[in-house]
């Protein structure tokens, strides 16, 4: 074979391998920006579009990593960071306020191929909590760090701390004042009753991403400011592995958003994966069962995003809306807020 024929043959085999690989190695990403009672009539089209633009930017950030052969780990981190940096969503900038008018941030990440996981809860001065969750996973001997200790670990690892006020937004501050007004109660029993009736929007809002990369590895990441007006250093589902975040290559990757207490008690993320793994359900069936048949009857409002090792995506929710987007190597892109749009 002469040199030009050899070049042609090499080129051809490269093309064939590449196209075969493209067929054999699907990749996909899905993201969410929280679920809740989003009222379409009070949500001007231009504002809806602004939210959708941010969702698109986030899903694109992750997709780009995957398309270039990067890891699902990096893809979910990059996607979540776009959402943390946006004031629209309850994570990073735009996080809700605690009862003490501060922001306490939670985040977690899990990798499907080795089930490594990292989580932080109650940090106040970490600009992108998902990065610190990843740092805990990669460079500590622990899975979960909290509060001041998590920030001390960040300092040791060379992080620059930011002032808690960088997460401030006027609309979240107003939401806290409304929540406090609604929650005026003379005792704990009355407080519990009022909390039960509090609009679900005060109790939820989280961002997250799940991805499958070309190497067949799944990852999930979740980040949140938690519940408006939360007290007593409450920990929700977002930093709980198995509740708000879960990934294992032989079933699926899940990130949840909703009324966290229910998602912890019903072990939501891991239960969806268990139904896939042990019952052979599709992620669509498994996720819909948990969201609609398990959670809804007991009052557990929210939704999940799920991806499996074939690149299938499911994004069910039992609220009026869920900010969400997905993009996969099969070409399908979705960016939606309500059921159908």
Least separation in angstroms between residue 130's CB and a copy of itself is 18
Q: Is residue 273 a contact partner of residue 112, using CB atoms and an 8 Å limit?
A: no
Q: What residues are paired with 146 via a beta bridge?
A: 121
Least separation in angstroms between residue 27's CB and a copy of itself is 24
**Any idea of the CA torsion for 165, 166, 169, 172, to the nearest 10 degrees?**
-60
- Which residue, 304 or 325, is less far from a copy of itself as judged by CB? 304
Greatest C-alpha distance within the chain:
90
Query: What is the distance between the alpha carbons of residues 83 and 79, in angstroms, rounded to a whole number?
Result: 7
Query: What is the distance between the alpha carbons of residues 125 and 155, in angstroms, rounded to a whole number?
Result: 11
- Which residue, 164 or 267, is less far from a copy of itself as judged by CB? 267
Q: Where are the alpha helices (DSSP H) in 25-89?
A: 45-67, 72-84
- Which residue, 43 or 191, is less far from a copy of itself as judged by CB? 191
Query: What is the distance between the alpha carbons of residues 220 and 202, in angstroms, rounded to a whole number?
Result: 24
Active site residue 206: yes
Residue 199: strand, helix, or coil = coil
Query: What is the distance between the alpha carbons of residues 203 and 208, in angstroms, rounded to a whole number?
Result: 16
Least separation in angstroms between residue 230's CB and a copy of itself is 8
Least separation in angstroms between residue 279's CB and a copy of itself is 5
Residues near a copy of itself (CB under 8 A) are 110, 115-117, 119, 121-122, 139-150, 152-153, 156-157, 188, 191-192, 195-196, 230-236, 240-243, 246, 260-261, 264-267, 270-271, 274-275, 278-279, 298
Catalytic residue among 54, 121, 206, 228: 206
- Which residue, 83 or 126, is less far from a copy of itself as judged by CB? 126
Residues serving a catalytic function are 206
């Amino acid at each position: 074979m002469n040199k030009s024929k050899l070049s042609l043959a090499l080129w051809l085999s490269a093309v064939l391998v590449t196209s075969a690989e493209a067929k054999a190695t699907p990749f996909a990403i899905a993201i969410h920006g929280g679920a809740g009672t989003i009222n379409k009539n009070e949500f001007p089209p231009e504002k809806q579009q602004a939210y959708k633009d941010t969702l698109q930017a986030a899903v694109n950030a992750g997709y780009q990593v995957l398309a270039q052969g990067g890891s699902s780990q990096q893809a979910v981190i990059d996607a979540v960071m776009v959402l943390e940096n946006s004031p629209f969503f309850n994570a990073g900038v735009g996080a809700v306020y605690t009862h003490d008018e501060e922001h306490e941030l939670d985040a977690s990440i899990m990798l499907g191929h080795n089930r490594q996981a990292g989580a932080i809860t109650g940090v106040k001065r970490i600009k992108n909590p998902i990065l610190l969750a990843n740092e805990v996973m990669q460079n500590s001997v622990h899975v979960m760090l909290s509060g001041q200790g998590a920030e001390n670990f960040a300092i040791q690892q060379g992080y620059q701390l930011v002032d808690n006020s960088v997460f401030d937004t006027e609309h979240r501050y107003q939401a806290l004042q409304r929540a406090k007004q609604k929650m005026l109660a003379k005792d704990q029993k009355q407080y519990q009753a009022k909390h039960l009736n509090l609009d679900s929007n005060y109790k939820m809002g989280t961002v997250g991403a799940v991805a499958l990369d070309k190497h067949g590895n799944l990852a999930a990441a979740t980040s949140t400011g938690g519940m408006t007006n939360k007290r007593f250093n409450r920990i929700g589902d977002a930093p709980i592995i198995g509740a708000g975040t879960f990934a294992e290559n032989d079933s699926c990757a899940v990130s949840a958003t909703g009324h966290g207490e229910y998602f912890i008690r019903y072990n939501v993320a891991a239960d969806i994966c268990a139904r896939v793994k042990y019952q052979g359900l599709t992620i669509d069936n498994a996720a819909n069962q948990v969201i609609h048949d398990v959670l809804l009857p007991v009052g557990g409002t929210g939704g999940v995003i799920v991806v499996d090792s074939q690149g299938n995506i499911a994004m069910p929710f039992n609220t009026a809306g869920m900010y969400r987007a997905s993009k996969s190597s099969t070409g399908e892109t979705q960016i939606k807020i309500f059921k159908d749009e």
